[in-house]
Structure 1
């Protein structure tokens, strides 16, 4: 793991360790030289059947993707120790998720039917008076949550109606914020600002200017676009960082309770929205742009 870490980002290393922790819980007491393919297969079947150990769903099975990722990381580790001649064979190399388990998961997974343009309008109208109206509109443009909270006012050109997506902020382990540039050159992009989004951003910027004037030196001039009333990127009462779902999810629920918007995702923090009529999935304008602000 340490050797692989040289070429990986901090958040990726954290995720790798987290996926391996699922294996350690059951197999960590077995010496590598004594580990068998049967041990690994037994762990895999256990994980699929009842591998969740925390939260309200403890005792239920892990998803196929989660188990597959853990199995892949274990195979990586065993390949490395094999290359160092600590073991003679990678006992997990031929193991894979049973086809029956993959089929069963596909069968029970509810199909997510994304919002159509009319439903997007309903959501936009329902959130029009919300403090975070502008960030929510940016999500409808196809920006990832990490990109929305990573936006700085210096990335937004309200004169030329563009914004530059070049920075992300991601939570790691519910306590550490990792800030970095976008994942790829394709991720770094300049997008046009539709008029409703531009107007919402101008109002949000004016609100922040008024809050800064009121608080004076008590205002945190962070430069980020998505901040609370004291200028901080969203935090708890003791200034600890919070996940974007903590402020996005309640807004979807409130909107659903006050407007006839359909729940479009099993988990509200994910906005399942058909945005291809306004912008494609990464914010590229299409030929049809409904007036989302009306």
Structure 2
């Protein structure tokens, strides 16, 4: 409701500027306290994995086909970003991933592909060593599958594909990740919560808010002072990758 109300207010503000309406009737609309309270309680119940739970899950899926995609989720990529990631977005030489350049998700039963919603959503993330190794192993596996399948193989260019090279959807990824959670015996959380686990860990490790925002692909990096005077660059993001490698993945 909050998201819908925000978009409605924005649309009506544009309408006011264009003199299509006299005033923004949504400007002073508020969400009922009971619904806001229920939403807050629901968020509180959704606890991301702890560091120990992350390590237990990763130890249990080593060698699985989804090892690399799960690491991407635990790097903070959204499920739609994991599904939309292409091999052309992965630069092994530079050691970076162009996250958010393309997303792939299911909308009303149809596959929708698009770029990130904002410029901040497109971000070059340095890869922890563990992620680099897992992606190289996945690429090698796909090359073997391409040779085995011959003409039946679809060279789609995506990182997350089936044995015939066809890209996977976010709903398929969610189901398979839940199956892996059950197989390993870890607490079931939403795949999107892997992103929360990553950012929570980095925040606890002392990574500055503005760097967290850059890593997550958020335009708002915290207080006005931080937004104005702190300018995260690739070196700052590299520190975040090192934190993931030594703590969460190590």
Distance 1:73 1:221, change over 3 A: same
Runs of at least 5 residues in structure 2 that lack an aligned partner in the other structure = 217-236
Q: Deviations over 1:41-80 (max 9, x none)?
A: xxxxxxxxxxxxxxxxxxxxxxx436xx269639956995
- The answer to whether 1:195 aligns with 2:151 is no
* Aligned residue in 2 for 1:106: 40
- The answer to whether 1:254 aligns with 2:176 is no
Distance 1:157 1:74, change over 3 A: closer
* Aligned residue in 2 for 1:73: 8
* Aligned residue in 2 for 1:36: none
**CA deviation after TM superposition for structure 1 residue 211, in Å:** 0.8
* Aligned residue in 2 for 1:161: 95
If the length of structure 1 is used for normalisation, what is the TM-score?
A: 0.60
Quick check: 2:84–2:102 contact (8 Å CA) kept in 1? yes
Quick check: 1:140–1:275 contact (8 Å CA) kept in 2? no
Distance 1:79 1:137, change over 3 A: closer
2:39 and 2:163 map into 1 onto residues whose CA distance is 43
Quick check: 1:215–1:230 contact (8 Å CA) kept in 2? yes
- The answer to whether 1:213 aligns with 2:147 is yes
Instruction: Say which one has the larger Rg.
Output: 1
Which structure has more relative contact order (CA 8 Å, sep 6+)? It is 2
Quick check: 2:61–2:184 contact (8 Å CA) kept in 1? no
2:81 and 2:35 map into 1 onto residues whose CA distance is 34
2:186 and 2:143 map into 1 onto residues whose CA distance is 33
Quick check: 1:151–1:225 contact (8 Å CA) kept in 2? yes
Runs of at least 5 residues in structure 1 that lack an aligned partner in the other structure = 1-63, 235-241
**CA deviation after TM superposition for structure 1 residue 126, in Å:** 1.8
- Coordinate RMSD, CA, aligned: 3.5
SS at 1:290's partner residue? helix
2:117 and 2:111 map into 1 onto residues whose CA distance is 19
2:133 and 2:206 map into 1 onto residues whose CA distance is 17
2:185 and 2:134 map into 1 onto residues whose CA distance is 23
Where do 1:1-294 residues align within 5 Å? Answer: 64-65=1-2, 69=4, 73=8, 76=11, 80=15, 83-84=19-20, 94-107=28-41, 109-171=43-105, 172-180=107-115, 182-234=116-168, 242=169, 244-255=170-181, 257-263=182-188, 265=189, 267-268=190-191, 270-271=193-194, 272-273=196-197, 274-276=200-202, 277=205, 280=212, 282=215, 284=237, 285-286=239-240, 288=243, 289-290=245-246
**CA deviation after TM superposition for structure 1 residue 275, in Å:** 3.8
Quick check: 2:2–2:31 contact (8 Å CA) kept in 1? no
Q: Which has the higher helix share?
A: 2
If the length of structure 2 is used for normalisation, what is the TM-score?
A: 0.69
